[in-house]
């Protein structure tokens, strides 16, 4: 959350003349409901099952696209292994805990998971999540350090790895 996956994905897709897909939007369109409402009404287990289903569908059915996943996607249902097996490239956009906290404080109202966390407790929350998820994230063959970089600079770095 907050690493810039959607921003970078959209810019990269424009540069590469590819389509851009946000997995959360694919899920919302498929279920006809918002992610936050799906969590409230059906729970996380239901959401993770649907997330896995839609990830597989997108990777099987679509061609020439950039996909942005949720921060939790690689950590459930073997999704990271699925992405590594089916996608041409898998990138982890790595941002430090202070960098993520700085970005997310500005977006708290739009992020249900952190909306009610006091600003001074946000770094600890982020650190806990990164610690839990790091083993999955580090399976990505391409790790891009994003602190103190402009979005277009990150896009150029990724494009350099695609050659």
Domains of the chain with CATH codes: 5-158 (3.40.50.300)
Under 8 Å between Cβ of 39 and 70: no
7 is in an annotated binding site: yes
Place of tokens 């990269």: 12
3 is in an annotated binding site: yes
Closest by CA position to 48, among listed 20, 27, 32: 27
pLDDT tens, residue order, the chain (163 aa): 889 999 999 999 999 999 999 999 999 999 999 988 998 899 989 999 999 999 999 999 988 999 999 999 999 999 999 999 999 999 999 999 999 999 999 888 777 778 889 999 999 999 999 999 999 999 999 999 999 999 999 999 999 999 7
133 is in an annotated binding site: yes
Q: What is the model's pLDDT at position 20?
A: 97
78 is in an annotated binding site: no
Q: What is the model's pLDDT at position 163?
A: 73
pTM of the shown model: 0.91
Q: What is the model's pLDDT at position 158?
A: 97
């Amino acid at each position: 959350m907050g690493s810039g996956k959607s921003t970078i994905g959209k810019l990269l897709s424009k540069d590469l003349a590819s389509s851009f897909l946000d997995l959360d939007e694919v899920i919302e369109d498929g279920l006809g409901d918002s992610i936050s409402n799906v969590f409230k009404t059906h729970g996380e287990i239901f959401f993770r099952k649907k997330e896995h289903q839609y990830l597989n569908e997108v990777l099987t059915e679509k061609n020439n696209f950039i996909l942005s996943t949720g921060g939790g996607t690689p950590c459930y249902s073997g999704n990271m292994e699925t992405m590594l097996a089916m996608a041409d490239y898998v990138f982890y956009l790595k941002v430090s805990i202070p960098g993520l906290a700085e970005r997310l404080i500005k977006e708290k109202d739009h992020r249900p998971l952190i909306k009610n966390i006091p600003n001074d407790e946000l770094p600890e929350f982020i650190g806990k999540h990164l610690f839990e998820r790091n083993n999955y994230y580090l399976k990505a063959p391409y790790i891009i350090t994003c602190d103190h970089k402009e979005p277009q600079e990150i896009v150029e770095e990724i494009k350099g790895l695609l050659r």
